[in-house]
Amino acid sequence: MLHKSILSYQGPLSFSTIDWLLSEFKLAAQDHDISFKTYKKMISVMIEALENVTKYSDQLLCNGDRSAVFCPSFKISRNDSTIEMETTNPVKKQEVTSLRTRIDKVNMHDSDALKELYRSTITNGEFSAKGGAGLGFIEMAKTTGSKLEYAFENLSKEYSLYTFRVSMHI
């Protein structure tokens, strides 16, 4: 975890909440002396990560209780050289293996190989049941130049808490 918190949120996520978080980050970026280049990259990563939470999280379990472990959370922190974004959300245990496989596949590629993986993914025309083509993780790794970090923690018999983290040099 990094030293200075820039923005954090815990609660139900919707597209209007994402819009609000993007606006809040714009203000926070100015307050925390984040360069425009870093700001643009982080906006791109935020959109990808937060849309993933909105699409793939079981938010029905949140019920608007912002302190509940089943509610998604989001935060951005920084230190002198790095900015980091972290999301957490519940996922069904049956989805854990697929998530691990997709992230590990992205992490095993260098920058040039990620570009090729992006091209092949975008042209193969395959979409998941929820409409994703699998480009989000690739895009986040390309944008940040960093490996994607993740963890799963047991929440219940049916659910795991999925933590996703990505950082970049500023």
- For the chain, the domains span 4-169
Weakly modelled stretches of the chain, pLDDT under 70: 1-2, 58-61, 63-69, 125-133
> What's the pLDDT score for residue 54?
87
Q: Which fold has domain 4-169?
A: Heat Shock Protein 90 (3.30.565)
Q: Is the pTM of this model over 0.85?
A: yes
3-state SS string for the chain = CCCEEEEEEECCCCHHHHHHHHHHHHHHHHHCCCCHHHHHHHHHHHHHHHHHHHHHCCHHHCCCCCCCCCCCEEEEEECCCEEEEEEEEEEEHHHHHHHHHHHHHHHCCCHHHHHHHHHHHHHHCCCCCCCCCCHHHHHHHHHHCCCCEEEEEECCCCEEEEEEEEEEEC
